[in-house]
Amino acid sequence: MSTLEQGFFTEENSAEVVTSQIAATTEPRLAEVISAITRHLHAAVKEIEPTQDEWMAAIKFLTETGHKSDDWRQEYILLSDIFGVSMLVDAINNRKPSGASESTVLGPFHVPNVPEMSMGSNICLDGKGHPMLIKGRILNTDGNPIEGAKIDVWQTNDDGFYDVQQKGIQPDFNLRGVFRTGSDGTYNFWGAKPRFYPIPDDGPVGKLLRSLGRHPYRPAHLHYILEARGYETLVTHIFDPDDKYIQSDAVFGVKESLLAKFDLIEDPARIANEGVDGPFYEVVHDFVLAPSS
């Protein structure tokens, strides 16, 4: 329908007039997306009824967000994160069959081509932090072990930093490892108990969080990317359920199924059997991969 058929632009018909100008030759998905965004954006503006100064403040905020973004820092992704949009897009694109492990957001600190390690290795290369043994099984939805599953894992150190954030302070590939399961589908490795940490909050997104009375912290977690032939790749975390921020993750990445039990092992026999110097944490968590479609 043309603009003339819709009538001239008014407060009442604003979205319809704008979407009517999308050409019939426009790629269908693009037309669908822009039409939906226009309808919802106009509806929000009509509900809010911003002043000219408020509208200009919004434009300034978006401009500052763009200026803060570069090859290392993506402020728009942070903005998407704190509104829960990143998690919503992840959920829409990772609907799993019953019994399969749930996904969550990748996060900004994954490193490709991490050296593969033998099962049971210690990914904590600087020996700092509280030792933690992480183990479990990689299974399919029938409960059978998956042989040859690739486990790409990474985490923060005891101070809440990833190795790439502390070049020259932490060793390269500290608290990162790649492992492959054997025929029994089990995995085990040593790390250090992770700690909560803030998302970057020195830009416009951090300022917005403070204005909303929100904190920038993510609860302690380990990252996983799990891959196996014939199965969907799983990008996920496991979280410490006792973390002080577990109910208020700044990016809404926590799901109940991703809560793992972080047990403090103080039994002298277990300590001696594992060959460590004192008490350690143990996390046992299985993952279930969905078959690829």
Least confident of 2-16, 32-46, 97-111: 2-16
What pLDDT score was predicted for residue 72? 83
Given a cut of 70, is residue 2 above it in pLDDT? no
Average pLDDT value over all residues in the chain: 95
CA atoms lying within 13 Å on the CB side of residue 78: 25
Residues 282 and 177 in one domain: yes
- pLDDT average, residue stretch 89-106: 95
User: Residue for token digits 């509280």?
Assistant: 130
- The pLDDT assigned to 135 comes to 98
Total domains, the chain? 2
- Based on the domain organization, do 147 and 281 belong to the same domain? yes
* In a domain? residue 207: no
Q: How many CA atoms lie within 13 A of 203 on its CB side?
A: 22
Q: What residues make up the domain containing 123?
A: 96-198+213-289
Asked whether residue 3 carries a pLDDT value surpassing 90, the answer given is no
140 occurs within a structural domain: yes
If phi > 0 it is left, if psi is from -120 to 50 it is alpha, else beta; for residue 59 that is: alpha
* pTM tops 0.85: yes
Asked if residue 103 and residue 224 are part of one domain, the reply reads yes
CATH code of the domain containing 163: 2.60.130.10
157 and 219 in a single domain? The answer is yes
Crossing angle, helix 204-211 and helix 75-82, to 10 degrees? Answer: 20
Same domain for 44 and 176, yes or no, is no
* Res 4 pLDDT > 80: no
